[in-house]
């Protein structure tokens, strides 16, 4: 995303809008794809993820769950989506239209915005907590209202950045990404040097449930959800790469593997400091001076991470017909508005962070499975760009009033199945959850039902073969 | 229809891009062979599942 924001105008149609990106416009070769994915992967929400897993399991089990879950989550997400986005220069919302229909794909937009704005709110509370802990480390006695005020300040700074200073955001990110990498290495060094691996490995989880195996499975589930959460960013990365390998391998290695390693640093820190809140780790790990410095740096990183999410959400909102031409500042105001509740209930919403992380699996796992079957099995990796950009009812991907009901019904089934196996908000699990992670089931079963439904209807797979090679009512 | 109207220009640009991309052969984007698939499935799916199974309490 750092690279993505190096050009200031959000209206630049191919790279920043929905126009399919031509091979000659694509910027990421092998090295650029890896570095951009690495910059994506190292973000402050990795610390949050590690903290959530520390509540359930210890260091070794947590690291296994985070690395394995993240790799699997990124793998199942990237294989269909990146292939389609890379081949046709599409962003992910458009790549979902063959499966879900012209209007049905806009439901993905709702999930995408929940994902982006939810993370933004959590990171802004982390920013507010950071200010609170900086004040506390310097000897002040801040009231808890500081956190809400911090969220408001973070929102305001974010709005300033995304409306006036995208150059500034690009510059800040070019400093913050390497800075975060240095911080992660520093944290790992201090953890190993000061405490040693034996202490880290022996540390007990912070707030485990009564059954160790269920805790382990939930931690694995959180790892998969962290991997699947990249759904929203994968299209942008893939469509800007020059080869299929450059789209797939960097995403698996950097988003899946490197991102999980950063989550592991968060896990180890949380276990040693005995807190899942990343802003409470820095002073105990680094001392007052270095701790406050690190906290200030993480606070700044939180604002830029939020700005990136808000910026991407604003671009996504351009899909909504009434918002195509809305002035950017007004659109940004509309985009930050859903984060306002975090100003008034920061602690209550922050405490729901682990449930929110798992809910990303609920939202995206069925989509991933359905798109997988649609792209590989039904369409044999061939989409019709004419149909994707055609709004007219005669378009091949218009289906029934713009909705492809087999896919949407399978999506609802998958989300219901996920909640049946594991409810992230109550923490309740079904006995079958011991055998199968909810994300995997919610990915596989809708994929199967969608495939069977289209076999019966025999429509989706053949629809685009007859697509007209002209646009009647372009949806751009 | 005004050919210089921004909306029409965008539509023409879109059609031009679609024609160009549809005409491209898959090989333009490099190969993703059966070995690539095998490596990805092994590294990012099978080995992680085995790891989770091995370390389960």
Identify the domain containing residue B44 by its residue range.
6-54
Q: Are A42 and A258 in contact (CB under 8 A)?
A: yes
State residue A8's pLDDT score: 39
State residue A329's pLDDT score: 87
User: Considering only CA atoms, which of A342, A362, A360 is closest in space to residue A350?
Assistant: A342
Name the residue of chain B whose CA is nearest to A383's CA: B22
Contact A252/B at CB under 8 A: yes
Which structure tokens are listed for A179?
A: 């800075």
Interface-testing mutation among B5, B6, B11, B17, with chain A (most A C-beta atoms within 10 A): B17
Which structure tokens are listed for A138?
A: 């310097």
Q: DSSP H helical segments within A138-258, as ranges?
A: 145-164, 166-190, 196-202, 212-228, 231-239, 244-250
CATH fold for domain A3-466? Hydantoin permease (1.10.4160)
Three-state DSSP class for residue B4: coil
pLDDT band, very low/low/confident/very high, at A353 (cuts 50, 70, 90): confident
State residue A356's pLDDT score: 86
Contact yes or no for B11 and A476 at CB 8 A: yes
User: Considering only CA atoms, which of A369, A380, A361 is closest in space to residue A437?
Assistant: A361
Could you report the predicted ipTM of this complex, rounded to two decimals? 0.90
Average pLDDT (A362-374) is: 94
Residues in chain B: 57
- Residue among B10, B17, B26 minimizing CB distance to A20: B17
pLDDT band, very low/low/confident/very high, at B1 (cuts 50, 70, 90): low
Chain A environment of B52 (Cβ under 8 Å):
64-65, 68-69, 220
Radius of gyration (C-alpha) of chain B in whole angstroms: 23
How much is the mean pLDDT over chain A?
86
Chain B environment of A243 (Cβ under 8 Å):
29-30
% of chain A beyond a pLDDT of 90 = 44
Contact yes or no for A471 and B14 at CB 8 A: yes
- Residue among A23, A381, A471 minimizing CB distance to B11: A471
In a domain? residue B34: yes
How much is the mean pLDDT over chain B?
88
In a domain? residue B19: yes
Q: Are A454 and A461 in contact (CB under 8 A)?
A: yes
User: Considering only CA atoms, which of A127, A161, A120, A52 is closest in space to residue A341?
Assistant: A120
Contact yes or no for B44 and A471 at CB 8 A: no
Contact yes or no for A242 and B20 at CB 8 A: no
Q: Are A61 and A214 in contact (CB under 8 A)?
A: no
Write out pLDDT tens, residues A210-264.
Answer: 999 999 999 999 999 999 988 887 887 888 899 999 999 999 999 999 999 999 9
Write out pLDDT tens, residues A160-217.
Answer: 888 875 566 667 667 777 888 888 888 888 888 888 999 999 999 999 999 999 999 9
Interface-testing mutation among B9, B11, B16, B18, with chain A (most A C-beta atoms within 10 A): B18
Q: Are A224 and A439 in contact (CB under 8 A)?
A: yes
Window 355-384 of A, Cβ < 8 Å to B: 381, 384
Q: Are B44 and B38 in contact (CB under 8 A)?
A: no
Report how far apart, in Å, the C-alpha atoms of A381 and of each of A87, A96, A138, A310, A371 are: 9, 13, 58, 32, 11
Q: Are A55 and A237 in contact (CB under 8 A)?
A: no
Q: Are A208 and A55 in contact (CB under 8 A)?
A: yes
Three-state DSSP class for residue A400: strand
State residue A467's pLDDT score: 63
Window 202-231 of A, Cβ < 8 Å to B: 212-213, 216, 220
Nearest-angstrom CA–CA distance, A117 and A325: 22
Write out pLDDT tens, residues A60-105.
Answer: 999 999 999 999 999 999 999 999 999 999 988 899 999 999 999 9
pLDDT band, very low/low/confident/very high, at A1 (cuts 50, 70, 90): very low
Write out pLDDT tens, residues A95-136.
Answer: 999 999 999 998 888 888 888 888 889 888 988 988 888 888
In a domain? residue B1: no
Nearest-angstrom CA–CA distance, A42 and A30: 18
Which structure tokens are listed for B13?
A: 């640009």
pLDDT band, very low/low/confident/very high, at A141 (cuts 50, 70, 90): confident
Q: How many helices (H) and strands (E) does chain B have?
A: 3, 0
State residue A76's pLDDT score: 94
Contact yes or no for B21 and A385 at CB 8 A: yes
Window 12-51 of B, Cβ < 8 Å to A: 13-15, 17-18, 20-22, 24, 26, 28-32, 36, 40-41, 43-45, 48-49, 51
pTM for the full predicted model: 0.89
State residue B6's pLDDT score: 65
Nearest-angstrom CA–CA distance, A424 and A266: 21
Name the residue of chain B whose CA is nearest to A386's CA: B18
Report how far apart, in Å, the C-alpha atoms of A112 and of each of A92, A119, A150, A303, A408 are: 10, 11, 25, 20, 16
Residue A21 per-residue DSSP state: P
Residue A401 burial (CB < 10 Å; 0-12/13-18/19+)? exposed
State residue A178's pLDDT score: 83
Nearest-angstrom CA–CA distance, A244 and A26: 12
Total number of domains constituting chain B: 1
Nearest-angstrom CA–CA distance, A457 and A465: 16
Write out pLDDT tens, residues A146-155.
Answer: 999 999 999 9
């Amino acid at each position: 995303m750092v690279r993505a924001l190096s050009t200031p105008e959000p209206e630049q149609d191919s790279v920043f809008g929905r126009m399919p990106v031509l091979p000659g416009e694509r910027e990421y070769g092998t090295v650029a794809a890896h570095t951009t994915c690495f910059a994506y992967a190292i973000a402050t929400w990795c610390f949050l993820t590690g903290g959530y897993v520390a509540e359930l399991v210890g260091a070794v089990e947590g690291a296994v769950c985070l690395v394995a879950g993240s790799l699997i989550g990124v793998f199942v997400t990237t294989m269909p989506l990146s292939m389609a986005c890379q081949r046709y220069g599409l962003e992910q919302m458009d790549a979902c239209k063959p499966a879900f229909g012209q209007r049905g794909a806009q439901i993905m937009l709702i999930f995408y915005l929940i994902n982006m704005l939810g993370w933004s709110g959590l990171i802004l509370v982390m920013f507010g907590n950071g200010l609170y802990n900086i004040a506390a480390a310097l000897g002040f006695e801040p009231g808890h209202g500081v956190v809400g005020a911090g969220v408001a300040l973070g929102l305001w700074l974010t709005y300033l950045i995304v409306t006036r200073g995208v150059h500034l955001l690009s510059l800040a990110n070019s400093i913050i990404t390497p800075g975060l990498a240095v911080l992660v290495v520093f944290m790992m060094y201090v953890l190993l040097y000061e405490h040693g691996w034996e202490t880290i490995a022996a540390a007990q989880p912070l707030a485990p449930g009564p059954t160790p195996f269920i805790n382990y499975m939930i931690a694995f589930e959180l790892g998969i959800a962290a991997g699947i959460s990249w759904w929203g960013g994968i299209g942008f990365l893939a469509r800007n790469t020059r080869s299929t390998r450059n789209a797939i391998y960097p995403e698996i290695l950097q988003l899946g593997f490197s991102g999980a390693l950063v989550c592991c640093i968060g896990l180890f820190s949380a276990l040693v400091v005995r807190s899942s809140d990343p802003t409470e780790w820095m002073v105990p790990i680094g001392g007052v001076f270095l701790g406050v410095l690190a906290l200030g740096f993480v606070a700044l990183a939180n604002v830029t991470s939020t700005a990136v999410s808000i910026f991407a959400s604003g671009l996504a909102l351009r899909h909504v017909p009434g918002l195509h031409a809305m002035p950017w500042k007004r659109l940004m105001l509309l985009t930050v508005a859903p984060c306002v509740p975090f100003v008034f209930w920061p602690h209550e919403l922050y405490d729901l962070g682990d449930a929110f992380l798992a809910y990303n699996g609920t939202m995206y796992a069925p989509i991933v499975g359905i798109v997988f079957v649609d792209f590989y099995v039904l369409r044999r990796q061939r989409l019709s760009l004419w149909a994707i950009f055609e709004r007219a009812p005669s378009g091949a991907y218009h289906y029934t009033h713009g909705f492809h009901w087999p896919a949407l019904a399978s999506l609802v089934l998958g989300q219901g199945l996920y909640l049946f196996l594991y409810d992230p908000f109550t923490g309740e699990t079904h006995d079958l959850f011991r055998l199968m992670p909810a994300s995997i089931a919610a990915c596989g079963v809708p994929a199967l039902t969608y495939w069977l439904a289209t076999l019966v209807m025999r429509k989706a797979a053949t629809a685009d073969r007859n697509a007209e090679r002209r646009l009647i009512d372009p949806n751009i | 229809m005004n050919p210089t109207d921004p909306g029409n220009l965008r539509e023409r640009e879109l059609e031009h891009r679609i024609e160009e991309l549809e005409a491209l052969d898959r090989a333009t984007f490099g190969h993703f062979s059966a070995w690539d698939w095998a490596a990805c499935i092994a590294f990012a799916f099978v080995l992680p599942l085995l790891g989770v199974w091995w370390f389960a309490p």
